[in-house]
A and B are shown apart, each in its own frame.
Chain A
Amino acid sequence: MAPERRSPALGPLESKIMRVMWDSSDDFLQVRDVLALLGSGLAYTTVMTVMNRLHEKGLLRRRKDGRAWAYRPALSREAYAAATMADALSVAGDRTAALLHFVADLNRQEAESLRRLLDASGQP
């Protein structure tokens, strides 16, 4: 059986770069553009290495733009957030995974029980 694909984890710099990429809508960005948007004193090669790693993780798509690579997010913020949450909540059968939720999922009996409580309280 093929191993289940998991949403890749992000390091601190990877997180910053992904945020820049998502904020830049659907444009392809070169490393120097990302470096300018990051605005910190990072080396060009550092950002290039991290973006290459993000591409290998499947989070960035790339194409040749002249002599350099240009990158764009391979999946949207929403898709990444949903996949990461789904991963975290399905770890080793422990679906709560150290999260304190406002509401949890309901099985049929629980949903029915809640509807009865709402009906008894006269709420829509």
Chain B
Amino acid sequence: MIPAWLLLGSGLGALCWRPPWLGDGRAPRAAVATLMAAAAAVWVGSFAVLVNLIAAGADGVLAACDALWRQLLQGNLAWWQTAAMAIWAVALPVRGSVAGLSATRRSRRLLRAMTAVATGPVAGERRALLIPGLSTPAVSLGITRPVVLLDAAFWEAAAEHERDIVIAHENGHRRGRHALLDVASRLLAGGLSPLPGAASAQQSIRRHLEALADDAAARRHDRRTVGMVIARIALSSKPAAGLGAAGACPWRVRRLVAERARPSWRDRLAAGGGGLALAVMLLVVAADAAALLGPFWGKFCPL
């Protein structure tokens, strides 16, 4: 019971309060991992707390699940227990699934439409297509097999190094499976949206995914050059800027152009401590489940 409360509390804490290093792009990979883990901790923790409260006296989360499942099938749950479970299910899994599925469906529909419009592949690039009238210079589409779409007019007018940076950025998204992470973050945050910090955590994940793709481009070119190219393209009128809304351009350019700030020892301590605490609690809950899984496996489902 205590690990469940701790897990829930630490997940909420990490969502609502984020140390500066988690927001300024110094460690984008750690930021994405921490925020996703925090959202997952809230899901698992809230479920474990709820189940433990309903099936009071059960030894561990899995035992409580088993007791609850049996009571549910036998119709022995009190109205408040059923209501509590239903509220949790609607608030988190149902709303999260709706958010995740709608993003997936939209992406598939858009990819199919854009593939039909494509005038051809980009020479020398795997899974990159030229699209006339894309309205944004470049975009990655598709969840499981992402495709890079490039605006034909932009591609025609861009200088060689600009093309290279744009492709490297989009390949960073593609190889890093960022679309999949984005959908996962939508699913996790979709269920938590009424909580303070959930929406901003999702925005922060998206922003750090862009930062990771920028870093992928910066491995092929000077960081400052990458920042300048992003700024120039964002300010140019071709193709018609005005169709995205991440609003992260100045932040991205600043972190690429400015001297690279390194996390202080306090940042490292806070990051390490927070991450370790979350990992330990997730492990405790997993060990609790695993220890009970053996004896319960044969009789878990009474059907």
Residues of chain A touching chain B, judged by Cβ–Cβ distance below 8 Å, are 7, 9-12, 14-16, 18-19, 22, 76-82, 84-86, 88-89, 91, 95-107, 110-111, 113-115, 117-118, 120-121, 123
Contact = CB atoms under 8 A, between A and B. Distances in A.
Contacts of A121: 224, 227-228, 257
Contact of A115 (B106, B178, B235): B235
Interface string B101-141: 00110110110111111110000000000011111111111
Contacts of A84: 110, 113-114, 117
Given A7-B113, A19-B116, A104 B247 contact: yes
B241 A103 contact: yes
Nearest to B252: A103
Contact of A10 (B113, B179, B243, B244): B113
A81 B233 contact: no
Contact of B243 (A9, A105, A120): A105
Contacts of B106: 88, 91, 97-98
Contacts, number: 169
B39 to A, nearest CB: 17
Given A89-B244, A111-B235, A100 B182 contact: yes
Contact of A105 (B115, B166, B245): B245
B95 interface: no
A105 B224 contact: no
Contact of B234 (A18, A78, A106, A120): A106
Contact of B244 (A14, A78, A103): A103
Given A15-B112, A110-B249, A117-B253, A100 B133 contact: no
A117 B85 CA distance: 52
B244 A101 contact: yes
Nearest to A104: B244
Nearest to B146: A100
Contact of A18 (B107, B116, B186): B116
A100 B179 contact: yes
25 contacts: A9-B112, A9-B113, A19-B116, A77-B133, A78-B133, A79-B133, A86-B135, A88-B106, A95-B244, A95-B245, A98-B106, A98-B182, A99-B139, A100-B210, A101-B138, A102-B138, A102-B170, A102-B233, A103-B137, A104-B245, A106-B234, A106-B247, A114-B253, A121-B224, A123-B231
Interface of B: 103-104, 106-107, 109-110, 112-119, 131-141, 166, 169-170, 173, 178-179, 182-183, 186, 206, 209-210, 213, 224, 227-228, 230-235, 241-250, 253-254, 257
Tell me the dominant secondary structure on chain B's binding face: helix
Contact of B249 (A89, A97, A103, A120): A103
A79 B113 CA distance: 12
Contacts of B173: 100
Given A12-B112, A22-B117, A111-B234, 14 more contacts: A16-B116, A81-B113, A81-B117, A85-B110, A98-B186, A99-B110, A99-B141, A102-B138, A103-B230, A103-B241, A110-B249, A110-B250, A118-B231, A118-B235
B250 to A, nearest CB: 4
Contacts of A110: 247, 249-250
